[in-house]
Structure 1
């Protein structure tokens, strides 16, 4: 097998992650538009319910043997990790700018390095460790301790759960389809999210439901693409591609919310983006 053919899965995984992060960024825009008008618990439950409805036809049209859940324990853990991360995400995006919140979100690849060593016995190269540290420093510059906001703690919670969610997918057998993985992960999240939503339920306007539906569509697409990507290549080789979403949220923040980055934010973004640049 040639070196070029060996590298192909990694390149494809990176492309899938970049596309997924574009869609995840659009989901963040939908949450920002809601502006705290919907409680996090209510948002999470409705998003998961809509996601399940979107996934069901694809899951049902598979062969019966492909619908079965291969690793219920790991899937159950991933379902509730996703709930925690989603709740933290709603709070952080509501109170922080898109760029600031996502700068903290994108410390997830750094967190994936020790997690991949601990859970998957992967051995990242010194170069990969250095690149992720550079990206993390860029995120710190964007956040800036002098402007620290309590919501940044929730953003860090999102980053931690995202890293764990993506790492744990490697514990799921490769013969389980992406649709089945997403379907069961979403379904298993409904009891807890539904119970919390019931406690904090409030009337909704149709436009709020529309934004939640859009967010669900975008984020389930991201989850699917990320699931495929992390099955195709080791996390330590592709996790830097997660940083691409920061570029998208900065652009969307400028266009839709007048969130103009200052010079330090630009420097931080540069430190995050530079390691992603292809080497000639």
Structure 2
């Protein structure tokens, strides 16, 4: 894969990022529709990888990066795959219990966990500004969860929080692997490892589905795989601080899809909490940019 980046085209980068966020929202909707059609969670995870693999292979072939499988850190990829697969499984499971908007909102806490983990595990210096942003962000999460009388299932909330924590682990792991391996290698090994691991459960959980359900599964994997490629491609055309704020457009799509398909409307606490999380996230992104760390969220785990 060529090391030189093409000329900056920020509008294209923003468009790609919005496309990725939109695709991830549709993927989440397909997961919930799949559950309603009788799809098990292991099946949803497996087909996310299986039907997401073709877009990845097309991307690799188009870029002529035929050494994508080579890596200097196989054990690091194994750890990234284990952490990413765990986070994905928890996120998919949470969607069985939570509306799209609430699940997406809590998922945005992942960068906050990444800041904490970078301080604890990587011994990076985190100043009072970013610690304050983290505290405010978790206040937003608490507002969404409404622990004093939440209308949301506790199990779903716990899974969503655990998934966000897992994404935080993946974020700092990718930061480390990215020092030696390129993006395509990271995505390739995660996709392959995840598909093989989830495939081991298919003899137990795999089912025969009708045509409509197969279309849902195909859309699930297609949206997930394509969105990951769009998100990664966006980094080639615009700086991280410019495009990452558009990740939050996923929340808007989650609200619209939840309303259109299930007639669910987020509670006022969800809107308030989402606003607090988004503001804290944007400030965290700003501080990361000021400190010269622009890569932590280059590759999403889902």
Shorter chain as denominator, the TM-score bin is 0.7 to 0.9
CA drift at 1:214: 1.9
Q: Distance in 1 between matches of 2:114 and 2:235?
A: 12
Which residue of 1 is the match for residue 53 of structure 2? 52
Matched position secondary structure for 2:264:
coil
Contact preservation (8 Å) 1:138, 1:268:
yes
Which residue of 2 is the match for residue 3 of structure 1? none
Q: CA, structure 1 residues 140+241, in 2 after alignment: closer, same or farther (shift >3 Å)?
A: farther
Matched position secondary structure for 1:94:
coil
Q: What are structure 1's unaligned runs of at least 5 residues?
A: 1-7
Q: CA, structure 1 residues 206+155, in 2 after alignment: closer, same or farther (shift >3 Å)?
A: same
Which residue of 2 is the match for residue 5 of structure 1? none
CA drift at 1:229: 7.6
Q: Distance in 1 between matches of 2:65 and 2:243?
A: 31
Q: What are structure 2's unaligned runs of at least 5 residues?
A: 1-7, 287-302
Q: CA, structure 1 residues 57+224, in 2 after alignment: closer, same or farther (shift >3 Å)?
A: closer
1:180-202 CA-to-partner distances (Å, cap 9, x unmatched) read: 32122111222321111221122
1:43-87 CA-to-partner distances (Å, cap 9, x unmatched) read: 111221122232223334524444423322122222222222222
Which residue of 1 is the match for residue 109 of structure 2? 107
User: Which structure has the highest helix share of the two?
Assistant: 1
Which residue of 2 is the match for residue 198 of structure 1? 203
CA drift at 1:222: 4.0
1:237-262 CA-to-partner distances (Å, cap 9, x unmatched) read: 99776544333312322233211123
> How do 1:1-280 and structure 2 match up within 5 A?
19-36=19-36, 37-60=38-61, 62-145=64-147, 146-147=149-150, 148-149=152-153, 150-174=155-179, 176-224=181-229, 243-275=248-280, 276=282
Residues 115-124 or 24-33, more deviating: 115-124
Q: CA, structure 1 residues 125+23, in 2 after alignment: closer, same or farther (shift >3 Å)?
A: farther
Contact preservation (8 Å) 1:166, 1:227:
no
Q: Distance in 2 between matches of 1:84 and 1:13?
A: 30
Q: Using structure 2 for the length normalisation, give the TM-score.
A: 0.75
CA drift at 1:41: 0.7
Q: Distance in 2 between matches of 1:182 and 1:169?
A: 10
After superposition, the CA RMSD in angstroms is 3.5
CA drift at 1:117: 2.2
Contact preservation (8 Å) 2:84, 2:166:
yes
Q: CA, structure 1 residues 201+35, in 2 after alignment: closer, same or farther (shift >3 Å)?
A: closer
Q: CA, structure 1 residues 212+154, in 2 after alignment: closer, same or farther (shift >3 Å)?
A: same
